[in-house]
Structure 1
Amino acid sequence: MSAPAGPSGGVRHLAAFAATFAALAVADAQAAGPGIWAIGVMAHDRGFASDDHENGVDLNLEVQFAPLAFPGSPRPHLGATLNFTGDTSVAYAGLGFRVWHAARWFADANIGAVVHDGPLHKDPARCEQFSDCGFGTRFLPRLGAEIGYRVSPRASIGLFYDHMSHKWVVEGENEGLDHIGVRYLHAF
């Protein structure tokens, strides 16, 4: 009899999910025009809205597609932020918007949704006393921002932040999760 899949099993499933979608995204982006891939290192559950109940340094992988021909030219993206210490890993999708740019600098805002492998519910007393709650639902809204510097026409370095939470959207437990870190972005 095999052992039940724990957090490491969830990480493996999310990594496989992210790798499959990244491969499809790369093929689609190459057919459609200029895309961007990103790889980064993130502080786990650290950020402006974080409660610091989880730990680790996470790997972030993302593929951004060519901008859509809609007002604001949103850029669809797929990604994953993987935690290797047994805490929450996520896979996400959404739209990114260039909100500011200069000769070498840029700022992007992101909106989307995330699926995670973290706990849905925790001890109600600890949740009430210490705000150490579960996420409440498997799918959550996700917001993000990035400030970047283009080191070459195809390569950039960015300071990245994202937050997933359902506060004001769904009632119940709402742990939320922040990531903050640096990423390397490369156009292909």
Structure 2
Amino acid sequence: MRISPAIGMSLLVLFVGSTGVLGSDFKRQTSSSQAPIQPSFLSEFRFGLSAQDPWGPEGRDGSANLTGEILFAKPFTASDLFTSYFIPRPHVGGSVNVDGRTSFAYAGLSWTIDVTPDIFVEGSFGGAVHNGKDTSHPLSDRRDIGCSPLFRESGSVGVRLSANWSVMATIEHLSDGGTCSDENRGLTNVGARVGYSF
């Protein structure tokens, strides 16, 4: 059977085109399979320093903390940006006092809102356990912060330096919210943190 030149040319073009498409699909699959796999459950890691209770007895001599926090990915996503702001990220963290005063570990939820593409604000709420002493002596260098666990709230203002790195100023407060029978003056720390987003 003879094939006309026009049909032969059409078949050739079709063959070359299909191999090009297959080749591009293969490249796409190969490059995606070689891409590094990122842990989908982790969202961000933060570390920094804070001043311990600068307005109270634990901070009268300039006591400081080393802080660390892990934020996990949102449990689900929203189709629009506004709704996504109401979906929190779970977090766990800790604060170790370098002068042997009150240290604590905490967990809770964080809500992050973009003010501009580079600036964001954040609020968090959760609970904390601590090793603070329950003392109300006026000359004590420890804060009477009541029972354990406590409520913990924090607020931050941050700046994104790149796609992965950010810095933020943070204030946090621990209190029993009046749920304990003993005296509770709470504990307030202020500091700065560096964040790395996955």
Query: What TM-score range do you get, normalising by the shorter chain?
Result: 0.7 to 0.9
Percent identity reads 29
Residues 133/181 of structure 1: CA separation in 2 closer, same or farther (3 Å cut): closer
1:76 maps to: 90
1:134 aligns with 2:147: no
2:73 maps to: 66
Q: State the Cα deviation string for residues 3-28 of structure 1 (Å, max 9, x = none).
A: xxxxxxxxxxxxxxxxxxxxxxxxxx
Q: Distance in 1 between matches of 2:91 and 2:133?
A: 25
Q: Distance in 2 between matches of 1:135 and 1:165?
A: 6
Q: CA deviation at 1:167?
A: 3.2
1:41 aligns with 2:49: yes
CA RMSD of aligned residues (A): 2.2
Alignment map for 1:120-159 (pairs within 5 Å): 120-123=134-137, 126=138, 134-159=144-169
Residues 102/169 of structure 1: CA separation in 2 closer, same or farther (3 Å cut): farther
Secondary structure of the 1:35 match is strand
1:91 maps to: 105
Residues 146/89 of structure 1: CA separation in 2 closer, same or farther (3 Å cut): same
1:177 maps to: 187
**Relative contact order higher in (CA < 8 Å, ≥ 6 apart):** 1
Amino acid at match of 1:106: F
Q: Do the aligned partners of 1:113 and 1:140 also contact (CA within 8 Å) in 2?
A: yes
Q: Do the aligned partners of 2:42 and 2:71 also contact (CA within 8 Å) in 1?
A: no
Q: Distance in 2 between matches of 1:180 and 1:150?
A: 20
Q: Distance in 1 between matches of 2:101 and 2:143?
A: 14
Q: State the Cα deviation string for residues 74-113 of structure 1 (Å, max 9, x = none).
A: 0000100110111000100000012443110000000000
Aligned length: 150
Q: Distance in 2 between matches of 1:171 and 1:107?
A: 35
Amino acid at match of 2:157: I
1:6 maps to: none
Secondary structure of the 2:58 match is coil
Name structure 2 gaps, 5 residues minimum: 1-37, 78-82
Q: Do the aligned partners of 2:151 and 2:177 also contact (CA within 8 Å) in 1?
A: no
Q: Distance in 1 between matches of 2:196 and 2:143?
A: 37
Alignment map for 1:107-122 (pairs within 5 Å): 107-122=121-136
1:53 aligns with 2:57: yes
1:104 maps to: 118
2:31 maps to: none
Q: Distance in 1 between matches of 2:184 and 2:127?
A: 15
Secondary structure of the 2:100 match is coil
Q: TM-score, normalised by structure 1?
A: 0.72
Secondary structure of the 1:179 match is strand
Q: Do the aligned partners of 1:133 and 1:175 also contact (CA within 8 Å) in 2?
A: yes
Larger radius of gyration: 2
Q: TM-score, normalised by structure 2?
A: 0.69
Q: CA deviation at 1:58?
A: 0.7
Q: CA deviation at 1:118?
A: 0.7
